[in-house]
Amino acid sequence: MITREQVTDILRTVNDPELHRSIVDLKMVDRIEIDDGLVEIGIKLTIPGCPMKARIESDVTKAVTALEGVRKVNIQFGSMNQEEKAAVRSMVLGQPEPEEVPHIADHILAISSGKGGVGKSTVTANLARSFAEKGYKVGVLDADVYGFSIPRMLGVTTKPTVVDNMIIPVEQNNIKVISMGFFVPDDTPVIWRGPLLHKTITQFMTDVVWDNPDILLMDLPPGTGDVTITIGQKLTAAQLIVVTTPQVAAANVAGRVAAMAEKINISLLGVIENMSYYQLPDNSKEFIFGQGGGQLLADRAGTAFFGEIPLHRIIREYADSGKSLFDQTNTDHLADAFRVISDRIAATF
Ligand SMILES: Nc1ncnc2c1ncn2[C@@H]1O[C@H](COP(=O)(O)OP(=O)(O)O)[C@@H](O)[C@H]1O
Ligand SMILES: [Mg+2]
């Protein structure tokens, strides 16, 4: 007579091929039923459609079949819910169970991109200014810990103050700003290990006195790394906005971020296309990088397309020197591109 304990014990020897831990410890074994020589096992995968499914299936079958008296092994696959996945992550990273951070803003917009250099920070900074101009209370969290540029783009030159373990963000033109750039000396490369990154980002959410802004914009690192996962876990209210350039190839890269968002349960709010065209003096447009990538990505991901930002020397100059496009008549037409987009975003609130 085979017992559940025997089956559990033998399953302890089966490791998840990617996480290299026993599937029993990872709580992937959901159910064991034994009917004479027939063993039925329910396995919960961390990712539905996990590419390692076949491998797990054969490893489990092999291990259990080796038990005396087993005639047949039936495996049923299911997938873990968000909470169970978070518990796996905590176990693997040796962190305590993540708690949700308290409500920090009415709308949390996480700005992301498939790769660097597409203007994610430029878009974040200008949207912040545009929302502030509309009278919203705005916070900006520069979570791009590998390439913080938000303080410079928003013209922030002072550092935040720290009082009794509370971080008071710098406030400039009604925008509250926090960046890792405030806490490391200039030009020092920061080497991040996963847990430290997780802790720092969490601190930026829990220890910063955001004072309940209407909108918190987050400039995320490009791609699908640890920061994005932490945000997905901690800030379940966060919504993702993906920035891409118009090339179809770039849109495909950005599409991976959209796919990842779904996997980690961040809702995708929409797509912004940057560097869409160059405006010639006669007002015609030259599509230097091709056309349509942003719309294509939005269509494929089934999300909103918020609009296009032209490629313009002044956008770069102002971003790099921290000047605002929003308070001068000669740059007003450029600010308009961001105003249109912030209007469309606000229409989703
Ligand atoms: N629409 C634009 N027109 C001109 N220059 C731009 C535009 N968007 C971004 N840039 C410039 O391109 C460079 C990269 O932009 P940045 O916002 O730092 O990208 P990311 O944050 O995606 O790495 C910066 O020098 C920025 O000033
Ligand atoms: Mg950037």
- Domain extents for the chain? 4-93, 107-346
* Half-sphere exposure in the Cβ direction for 26 (13 Å, CA): 25
3-state secondary structure at position 264? coil
Cβ 242 vs Cβ 306: under 8 Å:
no
Q: How confident is the model at residue 187 (pLDDT cuts 50, 70, 90)?
A: low
The encoded tokens of residue 16 equal: 């998840």
Q: What is the CATH number assigned to the segment(s) 4-93? A: 3.30.300.130
pLDDT at 58: 95
| 3-state secondary structure string across 315-332 | HHHHHHHCCCHHHCHHHH
The top-scoring range by mean pLDDT among 3-17, 18-32, 123-137, 187-201 is: 123-137
Beta carbons within 8 Å of 333's beta carbon, 6+ residues apart = none
pLDDT at 91: 78
Beta carbons within 8 Å of 133's beta carbon, 6+ residues apart = 326, 339
pLDDT at 193: 74
Name residue 167's beta-bridge partners.
162, 208
Q: How confident is the model at residue 310 (pLDDT cuts 50, 70, 90)?
A: very high
Taking the CA of residue 118 as reference, the ligand 1 atom at the shortest distance is 22
Reply yes or no on domain 107-346 having CATH 3.40.1790.10. no
**Cα→Cα distances 333→134, 212, 309, 340, Å:** 16, 31, 11, 11
CA–CA dist 340, 331 (Å, integer): 15
For ligand 1, the distance from its centroid to the CA atom of residue 316, given in whole angstroms, is 6
For ligand 1, whether the C-beta of 311 sits within 6 Å is yes
For ligand 2, the distance from its centroid to the CA atom of residue 326, given in whole angstroms, is 20
For ligand 1, whether the C-beta of 275 sits within 6 Å is yes
For ligand 2, the distance from its centroid to the CA atom of residue 302, given in whole angstroms, is 26
Give residue for tokens 């700003």.
177
Residue nearest to atom 25 of ligand 1 (CA): 316
The top-scoring range by mean pLDDT among 125-129, 253-257, 284-288 is: 125-129
* Half-sphere exposure in the Cβ direction for 274 (13 Å, CA): 24
Length of the chain: 349
Put simply, whether the predicted model's pTM sits higher than 0.85 gets the answer no
3-state secondary structure at position 157? coil
Q: How confident is the model at residue 235 (pLDDT cuts 50, 70, 90)?
A: confident
pLDDT at 244: 96
Taking the CA of residue 309 as reference, the ligand 1 atom at the shortest distance is 1
Cβ 202 vs Cβ 167: under 8 Å:
no
Beta carbons within 8 Å of 321's beta carbon, 6+ residues apart = 155
For ligand 2, the distance from its centroid to the CA atom of residue 124, given in whole angstroms, is 9
The encoded tokens of residue 184 equal: 């490391």
For ligand 2, the distance from its centroid to the CA atom of residue 119, given in whole angstroms, is 7
Cβ 105 vs Cβ 203: under 8 Å:
no
Residue nearest to atom 2 of ligand 1 (CA): 311
User: Dmax of the chain from CA atoms?
Assistant: 86
The encoded tokens of residue 15 equal: 């490791």
Taking the CA of residue 123 as reference, the ligand 1 atom at the shortest distance is 17
For ligand 1, whether the C-beta of 309 sits within 6 Å is yes
- Taking only the tens place, the pLDDT of each residue in 32-71 is 999 989 999 999 987 766 678 899 999 999 999 999 999 9
3-state secondary structure at position 9? helix
For ligand 1, the distance from its centroid to the CA atom of residue 273, given in whole angstroms, is 12
For ligand 1, whether the C-beta of 238 sits within 6 Å is no
In the chain, the percentage of residues whose pLDDT exceeds 90 is 59
Judging by beta carbons within 10 Å of its beta carbon (0-12, 13-18, 19+), is residue 345 exposed, middle or buried?
Answer: buried
Judge whether residue 319 has pLDDT over 60: yes
**Phi, psi dihedrals of residue 169, rounded to the nearest 5°:** -65, 160
For ligand 1, whether the C-beta of 117 sits within 6 Å is yes
